[in-house]
Chains A and B, each alone.
Chain A
């Protein structure tokens, strides 16, 4: 089954404690991206990657890091989480073609206290 898998689904952490949210896709997609979703603001892109070892900033990259060492995996790293990073996060993947459908993971609800 074609899917994008994120883990964990829910996470409560404390300010400053490093965390990683994993994302894996089994569709051999070149393009992967991370979004955060906040009420009234919609989905905002954090980082994206067009292929292995190729990553770039999205609209709201501050406080986040990513890596793309393998085509299937695209983890999101918060080195020192802060309460303003409390949000619903989605990983997505697609082929690198203009009309390609983006497939989304199940989402990770992160709370930073």
Chain B
């Protein structure tokens, strides 16, 4: 079992729709979670971080964390073609001083 798991996709959504990206993790010791966006051939860039159970909103993005279910999600409202990218979920394992990444979910927003 991978420590951080994501559906590889592609997830295809029409422009203007809500894109829902999901991630599960196996280590209950993970303390913080991050969503990175990565365009093809480029470096990852941070979209959202979340540390506590519940929702965190930033513009069109909402991150959700449920530690009991070991589940993290990212919602993108009003999806745009420019949101088409691979989204990486990552969890910080404090005891091991490591940021563990999932394999990423490819999102395609079509006009």
Contacts and interface: CB of A to CB of B under 8 A. Distances in A.
Interface of A: 31, 33, 35, 40-45, 48, 50, 56, 58, 88, 90, 92, 94, 96, 98-99, 101-102, 104-107, 109
B61 to A, nearest CB: 15
Interface residues of B, number: 24
Interface string B5-17: 0001000000000
B32 A99 contact: yes
B46 A101 contact: yes
B99 A102 contact: yes
A41 B90 CA distance: 13
Contacts, number: 58
10 nearest CB pairs, A to B: A42-B103, A104-B43, A43-B101, A99-B32, A98-B31, A42-B101, A101-B46, A98-B32, A98-B94, A98-B92
Given A40-B8, A42-B104, A99-B32, A107 B92 contact: no
A31 B32 CA distance: 16
Interface of B: 8, 31-32, 34, 41-46, 49, 51, 88, 90, 92, 94, 97-104
A-side interface mostly: strand
Nearest to B86: A42
